[in-house]
Amino acid sequence: MRYCEEVGFIIYYGQQKSSFKTDHIMEERMKKDKYLRARGGTARMLDIHCARCAAWVLKYQKDGVGQLLRCYLNRIFAPPETAALQHNPTFREPKDMSNLVCPKCSTVIGTPMRYEDGRLAFRLLKGTYSKKIVKGE
Ligand SMILES: [Zn+2]
């Protein structure tokens, strides 16, 4: 088990109902910035799955309390190709982005939007996803 001294917490994957045979132990560095502070300073790491086929879609840092309504690009931690969207220089407006879709069954899970603080995000469609808390803080 690895431990990140700077951040001071461990994220532990495993013993989930997934098909993984071995436990997965990873460390994650949650983002601590103005967006997190604006939400009260607490965050949870979530795994988002497709509600239709149960495929894993992404890992997401949810800041603050309340419902998960959207996924900001700069809070997506995995998979790498989705986490990289926040650095895509061609994304200036929501129309530059594609929908967030399930990698397995292609169900549309989110549509592009811009939040009032300027960040690009996916507006999540009700009933298309399920979430599991990986780590709270
Ligand atoms: Zn699916």
Write the pLDDT tens digit of every residue in 9-58.
Answer: 334 444 333 333 333 434 468 899 999 999 999 999 999 999 999 999 99
| 32 CB-contact burial (10 Å; exposed 0-12 / middle 13-18 / buried 19+) | middle
16 falls within a domain: no
79 occurs within a structural domain = yes
CA–centroid distance, residue 53 to ligand 1 (Å): 4
Asked if residue 12 belongs to a domain, the reply is: no
Question: Measured in angstroms, how far is the CA atom of residue 93 from the centroid of ligand 1?
Answer: 26
pTM over 0.85: no
Q: For the CA atoms of the chain, what is the radius of gyration?
A: 15
Q: In total, how many domains does the chain have? A: 1
Residue 5 domain flag:
no
Q: 63 CA to middle of ligand 1, Å?
A: 25
Asked if the structure places residue 15 within a domain, the reply is no
What percentage of the chain carries pLDDT values higher than 90?
Answer: 74
9 within domain boundaries? no
In a domain, 1, yes or no: no
Residue ranges making up the domain that contains 81? 27-133
Query: In 3D, which of 95, 97, 102 has the Cα closest to residue 130?
Result: 102
The rounded Å distance from CA 27 to ligand 1 centre is 26
CA 105 – ligand 1 centroid, Å = 4
